[in-house]
């Protein structure tokens, strides 16, 4: 989910860069060309998103055209399925999701992944220093993981 936000941000950033680049520095032809290539890829991706959405849409529309419609109805047909019994109350009740703390730990690790990606890209240039720093970072995180484990936060109750 966080990564989805990060990607949305990256898309926004790409287009912002493209437009500033084309407006502010029309002289730098190469830079614009490079940005334009990136822009083209994103446009392709956007068109493909439309194509991907067209698949389930067309299936739903196709089914709407050809499917049968009941001429007579019985009320029981629209009952909620509960193994053939009369449904016992609504399913929209207070419900213990059992993974509240797991979700918190997930957010921690997801944020960490967001930090790891730029680090992974530049590791070759930055060398040992970046490696040591990430060892410290991951080490701290692992201590937290161990604490959560000891506290039983990660076991399904």
Partner 1 sequence: MSPVVHALVIGIPLVTFLMGGAAVATWWERRFAGRMQTRFGPNRVGPAGLLQPVADALKMMQKEDIVPRDADRTLFNLAPLFPPFLVIASAAVIPFAATVGTDGAFEATGAVAALDIGILWVMSLAGLMVFPVWIAGWAANNKYTLLSGMRMVAQGISYEIPMIMTAMVPVIFAGSLSLSDIVAYQDANGWNALSLSPSALVGAVAALVFFLASLAEANRIPFDIPEAESELIAGVMVEYTGIKFGIFMLAEYLHTIVASALTAVLFFGGPSGPGPEFLGIAWMLGKTGALFVLIYWIRWSLYRLRSDQLMDLCWRVLVPLSLFLVMAAAVLVAGGFA
> Counting contacts by CB under 8 A, is residue 110 touching partner 1?
yes
Residues 37-96 that bind partner 1 (CB under 8 A): 38, 40-49, 51-53, 55-57, 59-60, 62-64, 66-70, 75, 77-83, 87, 90-92, 95
> Counting contacts by CB under 8 A, is residue 104 touching partner 1?
no
7 vs 25 by CB, closer to partner 1: 7
Q: How far apart are the C-alpha atoms of 89 and 105, rounded to whole Å?
A: 34
Q: How far apart are the C-alpha atoms of 72 and 70, rounded to whole Å?
A: 6
Q: How far apart are the C-alpha atoms of 32 and 143, rounded to whole Å?
A: 46
Q: Report the SS3 class of residue 28.
A: coil
- Count of residues binding partner 1 (CB under 8 A)? 78
Q: How far apart are the C-alpha atoms of 15 and 42, rounded to whole Å?
A: 9
Indicate which single residue of 28, 142, 144, 147 sits in contact with partner 1 (rule: CB under 8 A). Answer: 142
> Counting contacts by CB under 8 A, is residue 115 touching partner 1?
no
27 vs 157 by CB, closer to partner 1: 157
Residues 17-36 that bind partner 1 (CB under 8 A): none
Q: How far apart are the C-alpha atoms of 39 and 18, rounded to whole Å?
A: 7
């Amino acid at each position: 989910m966080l990564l989805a936000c990060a990607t949305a941000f990256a898309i926004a950033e790409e287009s912002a860069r493209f437009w500033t680049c084309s407006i502010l520095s029309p002289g730098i032809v190469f830079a614009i060309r490079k940005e334009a290539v990136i822009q083209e890829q994103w446009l392709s991706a956007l068109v493909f998103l439309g194509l991907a959405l067209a698949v389930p849409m067309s299936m739903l529309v196709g089914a709407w055209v050809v499917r049968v419609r009941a001429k007579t109805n019985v009320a029981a047909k629209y009952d909620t399925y509960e193994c053939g019994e009369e449904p016992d109350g609504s399913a929209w009740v207070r419900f213990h999701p059992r993974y509240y703390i797991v979700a918190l730990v997930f957010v921690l690790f997801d944020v960490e992944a967001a930090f790891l990606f730029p680090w992974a890209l530049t590791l070759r240039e930055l060398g040992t220093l970046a490696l040591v720093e990430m060892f410290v970072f991951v080490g701290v995180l692992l201590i937290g993981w161990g604490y959560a484990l000891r506290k039983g936060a990660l076991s399904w109750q």
